[in-house]
Structure 1
Amino acid sequence: MKKRSRLVIVLLVILMCGFFLYPTLKWYGGVPQSTKELATGSNVQIKEYSRGQASRDLRALKELVAKDSLTILPDEYGYLKEQAKANYKAMKKPVPKTWTVAALFGGFYNEQDLFDSCEQYYRTELLGLKALSAKALQLGLDLRGGMSILLEADVKAFEAKKGSSATAAQVTAAVKQDIEILEKRIDQFGVSEPVIRLQGTDQILIEVPGAADPERVNSFLRGKGSLEFKMVDTALTTQLDAYYKANPSEVYTDSGALKQPDFLPAGKLAAGYYVSDSYGIDELDRFVVIEEEVGLDGSHLESATTSTDGITGRPVVNFQLDSVGGDVFYKLTSTHVNETLAVVMDGKVKAMATITQGIRNSVQISGFNAAEANDLAIVLRTAALPIELTVSSQQAVGATLGEDAVAAGLKAIALGLLLVVLLMFGYYHVSGLVANLALLFNVVIMLSVLSAFNFTLTLTSVAGLILTLGMAVDTNVIIFERIKEERRLGKSDIASVRAGFDKAFWTVMDANITTIIAALVLSQLGSSSVKGFANTLAIGIVSSVFTALFVSHLIFDAAVTDREGKKLHISWRKN
């Protein structure tokens, strides 16, 4: 390959590394620790914080305008200018040249509008940082701690569903099936490298690395076996809505549960219809009356995907039922044409659709945005658990290695890299610096790939990274020794470099191919921790071959092209 082509490829790789590493560098290097704690909190915490900060800013602005309305707007409230400008233009009023607190208030329709803009600013900032943290390279439980959740099987509900008592073996078998579904569910929600294992006969222990964010747990525990399809009673829904509005004290019981009015006949239930707000939190939108009898249980779902309606362009969710579920659903929909069907998860109505005809196996529902449709499809795909689970305990855990052990490990890595750098320079002179540069670039590539694929960096992953760095130096040693042999034969620097890389190519490839085969086998057959080591090792092998055969080769070519007659510094010995 020509030098120019290699240069273009190297530059493209550098750009890609920068793109993939940016979230990690910004998150760990550009976000204060206090802000990280806020951004990695639950969405409920973010909502409370945003509203609190918006209230604080609004009170401060009202105090300023009360003291002196012509006071120049402080810089800390400058984030409101853009929205105020947009509002001035919408109201067809001239935009102020000097921003006073009075001019700012004039740019909003009312106090609530100003409050909403303040809240939106804090919400957007924190939710943006929360999304950034998800893209950054994550550390495992052993390095940074995380969340530990203990789930317990609801044996009574399982026996009620079966209609008979269950043996310990049957419960354990059902719990193992739950583990398989949870693994798929967690994978689809993007939670990295979790540890899920059976504890005892009827419990599941889940360890999720990362910040203690309850939303991450709730997202993959959502729809824990209680996904149901039920019919909606439209007439009673209208009556219920009027009753609750006229009697607000009769909406909830003392414990906060939804109160069932006396006028509802047997077999009818009042339920809440929930939609996701701007924080992604389920908010009660209105009340509906649904049948107590389950029309179809979610266990009959086989698959669920999202698409776009060809006519309206709105997101829709398509799901397939098994043969038994198809028969049940066809009977249900055929007898309730032009009536409303509700999708009920954990007692909450999450979607409703009007039945236009009898439907058997292929079902399509709509009425939500793209994010909600995708979330609902994921829940539908993994909703039905053979045995329902309850959260027995949920707690944040610290790093198992401890801060001192992690610090000692980082020092060891830094010292090892320094010794390798000094050794390569001490043995191969200036060419050793080329190998060191390729080695550092190798680290950058590995970290960027790990970040791009959202891998979790554990202690075993670090071990794979260190082993790969040693192998990367070995590749450069093979190439350098071959170049030295060619020079001993009396060849020029250009010819020696060309022959050295060409003849070392298959030696390097043979050694790395055999290692990558072993890494791939480990990644497929190993446990979670072994997979982390294998994945890092495989990535490192590919990047080390690239840096040796492309980066080092490019630097050598650039160094010797116009230096004929001068010696290439590949050893401290005189040639």
Structure 2
Amino acid sequence: MKKTGRVLLVLLVIVVAALLLSPTIRWYFFVPQTVKDAAAGSNESIRDYARGQASRGVHALTSLLREDRNSEVPAEFEYLIGEAEGQIKENGGEKPEDWTVYSLLSAFPTESALFEAIESHYRDELLDAKKLSGNVLQLGLDLRGGMSVVLEADTEAYAEMHDGKVPEGGELTALLQDDIEILTSRIDQFGVSEPDIRLQGSDQIVVEVPGETDPERVDSFLMGRGSLTFHLVDSALTNRVNNDYLDNLSRAFDEHGEIIVPQYIPSGYIVAGYYTEDEYGIDELQQFVVLDENVVVDGIHLTSARTDTDGRTGRPVVDFHLDSEGAEIFYDFTSRHIGDQLAVLMDGRVKSVATINDAISGDVQLSGSFTDEEARSLAVTLRTASLPIALTAVSEQGVGATLGDDSVSVAMKAIAIGFMLVIICMLAYYGLGAGLIADAALLLNLVMMVAVLSSLHFTLTLSSIAGLVLTLGMAIDANVIIYERIKEEMKAGMSNFDAVRIGFGRAFWTIMDSNVTTIIAAIVLSVFGSSTVKGFANTLAIGVACSLFTSLFVSHLLFDFFVTEDGRRCVKMSWRKR
């Protein structure tokens, strides 16, 4: 390949590496910690945070308006000026010369519009951060703390409930996949950030929960049951609350995003939100529902739930079945409340509201304006009260956040010290010429490694950092082999240009043989090793592949730039004069 083509290829690699590294750099160095913490939660917690900030913002601005209507817009609310300009343009108003608190609030037709603008700002900020966090190099439990739990399928308990039939092979895998789906839904409802749930072997599930070190809390959402209850709806109070709150959401939520119960709601009743999922994947408030706090029947009586299609309307519906005790309770209640509304409450949120048309026993069908995805999600939600196949915890391992921070500090120091020692050694032995070329190739090798790991959404652990540090040492070995070959050719009387050409040529297969063997060994470890060994092996394989490119291709290109055939330019191979 001609020199121009090689230069373009190296530049392309550098640009691609920079693009792949960009999310990781932005996340760890430019996103505020408060935004990271809020974005790490579930969609529901993001919604609550955004609503809380919107409520706080509305109250803060209205307080400023009462104190001094001509005061300047605080810096934290300057983003609202753009929203206000849009409102003025939409409503045909006139843009003010100077933006004050009064002119800003006057641009919004209602207090609810202001609330929604602030909420949208925080929601979009956190959703963007959440999306960004999914494209960065993640830190493992040993680096940021958390818990790792290994769960095993209880096939004996399953056999007892299914006439002695023991699940095997594909059937067992399908049951465990359903368990994973339910556990994922359940953990998300608990607000746990970025859990990693995966199959291990044929009968185990590994759950890694970063940042959570309380075993009792982890057990509660792994082995516990979903909070599913049925409540009677008070239509009159529901209409009154919606009339008061829907047009003025800032009064409906406190600074924590919790619903403020109006004083006229009598004891024995609760106010809950009825949400549907929007295009962001976040539950969007549709209305408030006032419920009798007495539970009609709870999820412990639910035995199964699945999606179906209404034969008359063609719309998705959710069918579920109650056990004998639950069916008797439900039939008695629905017989006495024909014409009333019944709500399904899941973890404090209304999932469905339906009118009781007939007495219902064991088989219940929920219908509404569901999409296929919403119906499937609701079926999963209903099933979280039980797992298709029971699981038992066979091991639990926790790492404290402090220990995780210490591990990060030690790991970063190890990488920095190892990198600096290699740079110093190469400069000390090969001088500013060849030494700088080797160090430049090593730096590019490190950047490429981290970029590839980041693009693969790799989880960085202590073992993978060990593989990274080892790779840095192995990468410089290739340069040493090449340089010693070049020096041998120079001692034999070759010119600098010929020595470089022959040295790289003769070192090529030696380097390829040793590195390909290492890659094969790393692949074997990755396939057959434990999760800890896999992290080391994957990092090693990626690092060796990158070092082949930097040592044989990039280093050669740099030598071709600084060594000319006519001998006018050359690269010194040591501090000694030739």
TM-score (norm 1): 0.69
- Give the conservation status (yes or no) of the 8 Å contact 2:275–2:283: no
Aligned residue identity for 1:387: I
- Give the conservation status (yes or no) of the 8 Å contact 1:41–1:212: no
> 2:541 and 2:522 mapped to 1: Cα distance?
6
Q: In the TM superposition, what is the alpha-carbon distance from 1:205 to its structure 2 partner?
A: 6.0
Q: Does 2:546 align with 1:543?
A: yes
> 1:510 and 1:366 mapped to 2: Cα distance?
65
Structure 1 residues 10 and 383: alpha-carbon distance in aligned structure 2, compared to 1, 3 A threshold:
farther
Structure 1 residues 5 and 370: alpha-carbon distance in aligned structure 2, compared to 1, 3 A threshold:
farther
Structure 1 residues 339 and 403: alpha-carbon distance in aligned structure 2, compared to 1, 3 A threshold:
closer
Q: Look up the match of 1:320.
A: none
Q: How does 1:89-238 map to 2 (within 5 A)?
A: 89-148=89-148, 162=162, 164=163, 178-179=175-176, 206-209=207-210
Structure 1 residues 370 and 471: alpha-carbon distance in aligned structure 2, compared to 1, 3 A threshold:
farther
Q: How does 1:58-77 map to 2 (within 5 A)?
A: 58-77=58-77
Structure 1 residues 54 and 369: alpha-carbon distance in aligned structure 2, compared to 1, 3 A threshold:
same
Residue 342 of structure 1, aligned match among 314, 317, 320: 317
Residue 414 of structure 2, aligned match among 409, 412, 420: 412
Q: How does 1:387-466 map to 2 (within 5 A)?
A: 387=389, 397-399=399-401, 402-429=404-431, 430-466=433-469
> 2:544 and 2:274 mapped to 1: Cα distance?
53
Residue 573 of structure 2, aligned match among 563, 570, 575: 570
> 2:67 and 2:113 mapped to 1: Cα distance?
22
> 2:554 and 2:181 mapped to 1: Cα distance?
40
- Give the conservation status (yes or no) of the 8 Å contact 2:143–2:407: no
> 1:443 and 1:345 mapped to 2: Cα distance?
54
Q: Does 2:276 align with 1:275?
A: yes
> 1:377 and 1:519 mapped to 2: Cα distance?
43
SS state of the match for residue 343, structure 1? strand
> 1:39 and 1:438 mapped to 2: Cα distance?
37
Q: Look up the match of 1:319.
A: none
- Give the conservation status (yes or no) of the 8 Å contact 1:174–1:387: no
Q: Does 2:533 align with 1:530?
A: yes
SS state of the match for residue 134, structure 2? helix
Structure 1 residues 388 and 340: alpha-carbon distance in aligned structure 2, compared to 1, 3 A threshold:
farther
Q: How does 1:554-569 map to 2 (within 5 A)?
A: 554-561=557-564, 564-569=567-572
Structure 1 residues 342 and 520: alpha-carbon distance in aligned structure 2, compared to 1, 3 A threshold:
same
> 1:173 and 1:370 mapped to 2: Cα distance?
26
Aligned residue identity for 1:523: S
Q: How does 1:228-307 map to 2 (within 5 A)?
A: 275-277=276-278, 280-281=282-283
Q: In the TM superposition, what is the alpha-carbon distance from 1:83 to its structure 2 partner?
A: 0.8
Unaligned regions of 5+ residues in structure 2, if any?
242-260, 290-298, 322-343, 354-366
Q: Look up the match of 1:25.
A: 25
- Give the conservation status (yes or no) of the 8 Å contact 1:149–1:395: yes
Q: In the TM superposition, what is the alpha-carbon distance from 1:81 to its structure 2 partner?
A: 0.7
Structure 1 residues 46 and 398: alpha-carbon distance in aligned structure 2, compared to 1, 3 A threshold:
same
Structure 1 residues 204 and 558: alpha-carbon distance in aligned structure 2, compared to 1, 3 A threshold:
closer
Unaligned regions of 5+ residues in structure 1, if any?
227-238, 259-271, 302-328, 353-364
State which drifts further: 46-55 or 143-152: 143-152
Q: In the TM superposition, what is the alpha-carbon distance from 1:507 to its structure 2 partner?
A: 2.0
> 1:505 and 1:65 mapped to 2: Cα distance?
74
Q: Percent identity?
A: 45
Superposed CA RMSD in Å reads 5.4
Structure 1 residues 351 and 185: alpha-carbon distance in aligned structure 2, compared to 1, 3 A threshold:
same
> 1:481 and 1:71 mapped to 2: Cα distance?
73
Aligned residue pair count: 494
Structure 1 residues 386 and 60: alpha-carbon distance in aligned structure 2, compared to 1, 3 A threshold:
closer
Q: In the TM superposition, what is the alpha-carbon distance from 1:44 to its structure 2 partner?
A: 3.5
Q: Does 2:462 align with 1:487?
A: no
Q: In the TM superposition, what is the alpha-carbon distance from 1:500 to its structure 2 partner?
A: 2.1
Q: In the TM superposition, what is the alpha-carbon distance from 1:31 to its structure 2 partner?
A: 2.6
- Give the conservation status (yes or no) of the 8 Å contact 1:195–1:208: no
> 2:560 and 2:395 mapped to 1: Cα distance?
61
- Deviation per CA, 1:67-113, whole angstroms, max 9, x where unpaired? 33233323221110111111111111222221122211221111110
- Deviation per CA, 1:186-239, whole angstroms, max 9, x where unpaired? 9999968657679xx9x96622346789xxx99x989x999xxxxxxxxxxxx9
- Give the conservation status (yes or no) of the 8 Å contact 1:177–1:386: no
- Deviation per CA, 1:512-555, whole angstroms, max 9, x where unpaired? 11111122222222221121111111111111111112221221
- Deviation per CA, 1:308-339, whole angstroms, max 9, x where unpaired? xxxxxxxxxxxxxxxxxxxxx8xx97xx4546
- Deviation per CA, 1:158-196, whole angstroms, max 9, x where unpaired? 57963x5x69x8799998865465569999999686576
> 1:563 and 1:345 mapped to 2: Cα distance?
85
Structure 1 residues 74 and 54: alpha-carbon distance in aligned structure 2, compared to 1, 3 A threshold:
same
SS state of the match for residue 94, structure 2? coil
- Give the conservation status (yes or no) of the 8 Å contact 2:87–2:108: yes
Q: Look up the match of 1:57.
A: 57
SS state of the match for residue 70, structure 1? coil
> 2:4 and 2:410 mapped to 1: Cα distance?
43
> 2:96 and 2:194 mapped to 1: Cα distance?
48
> 1:155 and 1:526 mapped to 2: Cα distance?
26
- Give the conservation status (yes or no) of the 8 Å contact 1:465–1:536: yes
> 1:383 and 1:9 mapped to 2: Cα distance?
56
Residue 518 of structure 2, aligned match among 492, 515, 519: 515
SS state of the match for residue 135, structure 1? coil
Structure 1 residues 297 and 92: alpha-carbon distance in aligned structure 2, compared to 1, 3 A threshold:
closer
Q: In the TM superposition, what is the alpha-carbon distance from 1:122 to its structure 2 partner?
A: 1.6
> 2:368 and 2:222 mapped to 1: Cα distance?
23
- Give the conservation status (yes or no) of the 8 Å contact 1:195–1:528: no
TM-score (norm 2): 0.69
Aligned residue identity for 1:276: E
Q: In the TM superposition, what is the alpha-carbon distance from 1:133 to its structure 2 partner?
A: 1.9
State which drifts further: 520-529 or 369-378: 369-378
> 1:392 and 1:485 mapped to 2: Cα distance?
60
